[in-house]
Amino acid sequence: MSRVFKTANLLLRSSQSIRVPVRGKAVQGYARPSIDEIGVPTEPWKQVYDKNQTRFLAQLLGGATSLAVALFVFVTEVNRNPTPAHLLK
């Protein structure tokens, strides 16, 4: 039993000796961007919104079509709960 305790004690001590590195700056002299450096919109909001909605609708229709095809193939190909012909002989 003492061997188990020795092993457990070694494992606990080894985790205490591991030193976690402290994160520092990756680049010297780096400063976060200020609010003045953010660009201004170049297109009207409604135009960008409509373009995004068109793309999202196409993705939705593609996903719904894929799901419908997968369900159709599943229903037509998978034999769910068949009649036990081997028992009806």
Structural domain includes residue 59: yes
pLDDT digits (tens, 9 = 90+) for 8-48: 777 777 655 666 666 666 777 778 888 988 889 999 999 99
Residues above pLDDT 90, as percent of the chain: 43
Structural domain includes residue 61: yes
- Domain with 57, as residue range(s), is 46-77
CA distance 57 to 8: 58
Q: How many domains does the chain have?
A: 1
Structural domain includes residue 4: no
Res 75: pLDDT: 95
CA distances from 77 to 52, 59, 72, 74, 83 (A): 37, 27, 8, 5, 16
> pLDDT band at 77, cuts 50/70/90?
very high
> What is the identity of the amino acid at 61?
L
| pTM for this entry | 0.53
Structural domain includes residue 83: no
Structural domain includes residue 20: no
